[in-house]
Amino acid sequence: MAKAYWITLYREISDPAKLAAYAKLAGPCIEAGGGRFLARGTAVQAYEAGQSERAVVIEFDSIEHAVAVHDSPRYQEALTALEGGAVRDVRIVAGV
């Protein structure tokens, strides 16, 4: 079974307090669901489109685990805390 990677690229952070509230809820939820944070922070160097806002990469043992965490009531509560605080692109992709 291929690992899965949950990749979040922030386009804009308009409310750092909402982001902090989200992180306080989302981090423990993701880790409890088997997610392992591999990278998080702003880009050290940005190329192509030049986006250098926050990026997060989380590894899961499977796509099913990643999707289950994302769709869980606990994670949805974290998303409610973030609402309106950031514009993000979230993707779950299969490992190779």
Please report, for the domain that includes residue 72, its CATH number: 3.30.70.100
- For the chain, the domain total comes to 1
E strand map for 3-78 = 4-13, 36-42, 54-60
* pLDDT beyond 90 at 49: no
Domain that holds residue 13: 4-94
| Of the candidates 81, 72, 63, the residue with the CA atom closest to the CA atom of residue 25 | 81
Rounded to an integer, the average pLDDT of 47-54 is 88
The pLDDT score that the predictor gives to residue 51 is 84
